Structure 1
Amino acid sequence: MSDSSTPSVLARIPFRREHRSARAPCVQDRDRALDNADFAEVVRRTARRLEGLGVDRGDTVAVLLPNRAEIVTVMFAAWCRGAALTPINPALTDDEVRYQLRDSCSAVVVGGERAWALASSVGASWVDAETLHRDSHEPPVGPGAEVLPLADASDVALVIYTSGTTGRPKGVLLDHSNLDAMSTSLIEHFELTAADRSLLVLPLFHVNGLVVSVLSPLRAGGDVVVAPRFSPDTFWDVVEVNRPTYFSAVPTVYSVLDTHTDRAVDTSSLRFAICGAAPAPAELVSRFERRFDVPVVEGYGLSEGSVASTINPVAGPRKPGTVGVALPGQEVLVVSDDGRPQRPGERGEVVVRGANVMRGYLGRPEETAAVLRAGWLHTGDVGILDEDGYLRIVDRMKDMIIRGGENIYPKEVEDCLHRHPGVVEAAVVGKPDEKYGEVPVAFVVVRPGSAVTAEELIGHCAASLARYKTPAEMHVRDQLPKNSVGKLVKGPLRAAVSATTPIDASPGNRRCAT
């Protein structure tokens, strides 16, 4: 943890930018465009609103909004008060929102009428988001005025909640030194400058959107376009009109764009695109690059590591099927069960060390101690490092299927399915089995108009995989379950196969389901 006298990441983004015009663009969404001076003015006014509600250092401000510019201005205003921001997914139920508000001890909730009702139910104050850009209660303070106090490096900046797939969501505590290290690393790796414009595609309740698509370009002197809700029918129009230099998205977005784009598109403004949050099929990445003439750099990271730990280079060698090399300022190892570093090509758990690693989980010392050991963040992911330091994610340790004593990594089977030209998405889960303990079961989405059958896909797997790895069942679906970020979630699939009748999983006996 940094000394409290060290400046926060907020100090890295001066509101008086000597190297840029005060009227240069800063943040825009569908409803408004803020230049540097406008942005600074809104942040100051919002900070004064928060001050009037008693927000001070160590407090938490919640924001419950869909993607819009106010989330960014509220984040900076909270930091100007020395407070943390906890962004809330609007798709959560009221009970789930109340849990996050109570767990984070949020003093203020920014949002609409729903936020008002939820804030009242937990005893928090409320700020109407609609007033933040037209508040006339305070006179303008001018673009050169200083905002004090600034948060220190050791103050918590973000409380980001995990998806809660293994229990109640946990609040990941990221302080300003974490965000400083992470954004510095991204700026160096991507060579971001004032000429860069990010197109924000991912939701702002996730650390990827906040750090990769907002904080990093603003620190570099660039600007941010908050995109409308993603649709393959309008995405390329947004790119062609706004001319971003990069965007960050999940594999599902790339798959949908590849499947549903039926016209020539102008991608000449894009220097690169980032793919993260889940492993992407190598075939999808390569196909997207060839078709749209945009380098796609796949990366890997966790909220606990401030978003990213490895990314493929933009200019250097990119290895499809890998998630790249360690970012500047970070160490990434693959270790055995006893913590011994594995040799290149050997599987083990991925561990990460660097100034980007979280302070811990809010109010959960035991769970913090379980993942932060001897200075390393234990990710729970199985990976392999090659001789050049490129990381390949094999799977989640908890997702591994053990069939009759044989380890099966679902991603290996999923990668095989993705090599079939008719497959758009694939997910493999373990199904309880009396004889073998578990057997692999596959769920796929096929390309529109494709006549591929479940039987054909089982044969495709059997031609490339050992018999024990070949799915015992193949289910063709119209869609697969995803979370609000667009990342595929396997919980509902596991529940579905656990509820079905037992099968004869002997090699050669396969159930096909459509």
Structure 2
Amino acid sequence: MNERDLAAPLRAGGEMVVERLDHWAAAAGDRPFFHYGEDGVTLTYREFGRRTDAIAGNLAANGIGKGGRVSVFCVNPLAAALVMFGAWKAGALYCPVNFGYTGRLLAYQLADTAPDAIVTEPALLPALNEVAGGLAEPPAVAVYEAPPGAHDHGAERPAAHPALREIPWADLTRDAPRPDVTLAYDDPANVIYTSGTTGPAKGVVQPFRWLAQYTFNLRLPVTRDDVIYNDLPMYHVGGAIANVARAAWAGCEVAVWNRFSPNDFWRRVESRGVTTAILLDVMIPWLAKAPQTPGDRRNTLTKAHMQPLPAGHAEFARRFGIDFVTAGFGQTESGAPLGVIIEETAAGEGTPADLYRGLTHAEVAALAAEHGVPFLRGADASRKGLMGRPSRFVEAAVLNERDEECADEEPGQLALRPRLPALFMDGYLGRPEATAAAFRNLWFHTGDAAVRSADGLFYFVDRLGDRIRVRGENLSSFQVEDLLNQHPGVRYCAAFAVRSGEGDEDDVVAYVVPAEDDGALTEDDVHAFALETMPKFMRPRHVRIVPDLPRTPTNKIEKYRLRARILEELGG
């Protein structure tokens, strides 16, 4: 199959998300696009298009155009989404920052991104001010102003650091003509950061085609009649791209809240008639904890994406009447190259008929067959870690340490190869050596262990290296260690993961060697320091003070010994 034929499905659905938003603003402008549940505000496609046109024009008027970088440091997802599309329309790159970052983490990412402008909000401005003076080239800053009556509206805010040139929010958002910018599928759209493994986090430069590929399988069963639920942050590709951008492709509504709430989840679903949601592994146990009731199936949620696929997906889907569960493999660098659709309940046995909206079971099965996506019954998807098969746009293999292909059921590293240009990341920002290493031997190395079964299905095995997953976030032991090492009483430390009791989550463990052997440094001191300097998801749950760490003859810390020690202590 030639390149044009391979790319045809991407082109048929519209490769450029900005063009899709324009299409729906013109064709169905009065339809709801973005509902912000925290304030009960709904923007139509036409209004969202008008506002983002204005932001694009005002960015351009401030010298931020094609190739410029706009860092967004906001909790408020409506503000972040408006700036994201506005930046794209101006030809600038959307560069989100984890709103939990402060101090060293925040300073590092901003210095590495070197943005032309930062958009933030009053509550986060003090954290930005704290690091602004240390930036080599302080950017412009715009501070979001919530309208009166909004949940985050405040009468006062601190002044911006003198090093920052402030663009008033009113000036960024006032009506302005949209700039005339020509965009192509291989133009860069985003810089989104990995968790890092053995070193600082790396900025991943994603072209527009990456967005189209990442959302492709997720878009297949979604129509204009669907409503996508989102409580993932806008610094996360799942929130910004898989949910918000996907809605713009489909022409449907996306209903957005600031954070997950197990108590409010089903009320939110009912309030907007939500039909599809991404459920991270930590969310599912929380929702399943609620006492069962005869009315559990009486909701509109027909489709859920679960990644990684939990062992209890079928039981959860049957209880809550979810017809389809999708799963796969997702990554900042390679998008969503693997996928599967699981029919969890037969037609009529899931979402009640009077609440069901969207494609029928037969239509979903036909789309899966047309695009080569595995379509399995719930009973046939019982093996943990199912990721499906490669999409039509990529090749996949499991490789050993010499990059030789492993036999079926032999674990190795999942490796991928794009069949079209600009399908994966352009590279790591400012790190050509790391980019070349990741793409060595003409394969992109994901850093995750997997196996391929005899029928060609791929299964996730484990994370390679020192990656940790907490509250749906991937982080690295390097990041945890780097921050803890800033404590004046810490000589050095070792951080790693142990399995948590919640879903497929991890708990962070830190073994700390004190700077002085006088007993002055306590576990409580380390916990207090983490509370002040680290986002909640990064803080160690277990801290142990030790005189030294076990090492190999080549002076590498033997974390496996520490892991065995803590598991024995915890009874794991």
TM-score (norm 2): 0.66
What's the offset of the Cα at 1:203? 1.4
Deviations 1:147-167 (A, max 9, x none): 521433232111111123432
Deviations 1:228-274 (A, max 9, x none): 42111111110111111211131001111112455544554222111
> Is 2:211 aligned against 1:179?
yes
- Counterpart CA distance in 1 for 2:535 and 2:563 is 34
> Is 2:197 aligned against 1:168?
no
Deviations 1:152-198 (A, max 9, x none): 323211111112343211101101122233333432xx332212221
Name 2:281's counterpart in structure 1: 251
**1:179-218, aligned counterparts within 5 Å?**
179-187=211-219, 190-218=220-248
Name 1:270's counterpart in structure 2: 301
Q: What amino acid is the match of 1:368?
A: T
- Counterpart CA distance in 2 for 1:63 and 1:42 is 17
Name 1:434's counterpart in structure 2: none
- Counterpart CA distance in 1 for 2:428 and 2:562 is 43
Q: 2:142 aligns with which of 110, 113, 127?
A: 127
Is the contact between residue 58 and residue 82 of structure 1 (CA under 8 Å) also seen in structure 2? Answer: yes
What's the offset of the Cα at 1:22? 1.1
What's the offset of the Cα at 1:8? 6.7
Pair 1:64–1:343, CA change in 2 (3 A): same
- Counterpart CA distance in 1 for 2:281 and 2:172 is 45
- Counterpart CA distance in 2 for 1:193 and 1:512 is 48
The number of equivalent residue pairs is: 428
Deviations 1:341-399 (A, max 9, x none): 22322222101122432111111111111111243210121111112322111112326
SS across alignment from 1:309 = strand
Is the contact between residue 237 and residue 332 of structure 2 (CA under 8 Å) also seen in structure 1? Answer: yes
> Is 2:316 aligned against 1:301?
no
Pair 1:331–1:35, CA change in 2 (3 A): same
Is the contact between residue 204 and residue 428 of structure 2 (CA under 8 Å) also seen in structure 1? Answer: yes
Q: 1:13 aligns with which of 17, 20, 34?
A: 20
- Counterpart CA distance in 1 for 2:541 and 2:261 is 25
Q: 1:445 aligns with which of 501, 505, 515?
A: 501
- Counterpart CA distance in 2 for 1:286 and 1:365 is 43
Q: What amino acid is the match of 2:403?
A: G
Q: 2:68 aligns with which of 59, 62, 73?
A: 59
- The percent of aligned pairs where both chains have the same amino acid is 26
- Counterpart CA distance in 2 for 1:260 and 1:78 is 41
Name 1:330's counterpart in structure 2: 394
Q: 1:290 aligns with which of 290, 294, 318?
A: 318
Pair 1:93–1:501, CA change in 2 (3 A): closer
Pair 1:383–1:57, CA change in 2 (3 A): same
SS across alignment from 1:313 = strand
Deviates more, 1:293-302 or 1:131-140: 131-140
What's the offset of the Cα at 1:40? 0.8
SS across alignment from 2:260 = coil
Is the contact between residue 21 and residue 45 of structure 2 (CA under 8 Å) also seen in structure 1? Answer: no
**1:28-177, aligned counterparts within 5 Å?**
28-29=35-36, 30-31=38-39, 32-113=41-122, 116=125, 118=128, 120-121=132-133, 122=135, 123-130=138-145, 135=170, 140=175, 148-177=180-209
Pair 1:116–1:52, CA change in 2 (3 A): farther
Pair 1:346–1:9, CA change in 2 (3 A): same
Q: What amino acid is the match of 2:333?
A: E
- Counterpart CA distance in 1 for 2:193 and 2:214 is 18
- Counterpart CA distance in 2 for 1:363 and 1:61 is 17
Is the contact between residue 240 and residue 267 of structure 1 (CA under 8 Å) also seen in structure 2? Answer: no
Q: What amino acid is the match of 2:24?
A: R
Higher relative contact order (CA 8 A, sep 6+): 2
Pair 1:8–1:246, CA change in 2 (3 A): closer
Deviations 1:61-99 (A, max 9, x none): 011111421211111111111110111111111332222
Name 2:158's counterpart in structure 1: none
Pair 1:58–1:293, CA change in 2 (3 A): same
Name 1:237's counterpart in structure 2: 267
Deviates more, 1:123-132 or 1:112-121: 112-121
- Counterpart CA distance in 2 for 1:377 and 1:108 is 32
**1:424-439, aligned counterparts within 5 Å?**
none
TM-score (norm 1): 0.73
- Counterpart CA distance in 2 for 1:240 and 1:495 is 42
Deviations 1:410-442 (A, max 9, x none): 99xxxxxxxxxxxxxxxxx9xxxxxxxxxx996
Q: 1:357 aligns with which of 420, 424, 430?
A: 424
Is the contact between residue 10 and residue 151 of structure 1 (CA under 8 Å) also seen in structure 2? Answer: no
Pair 1:311–1:186, CA change in 2 (3 A): same
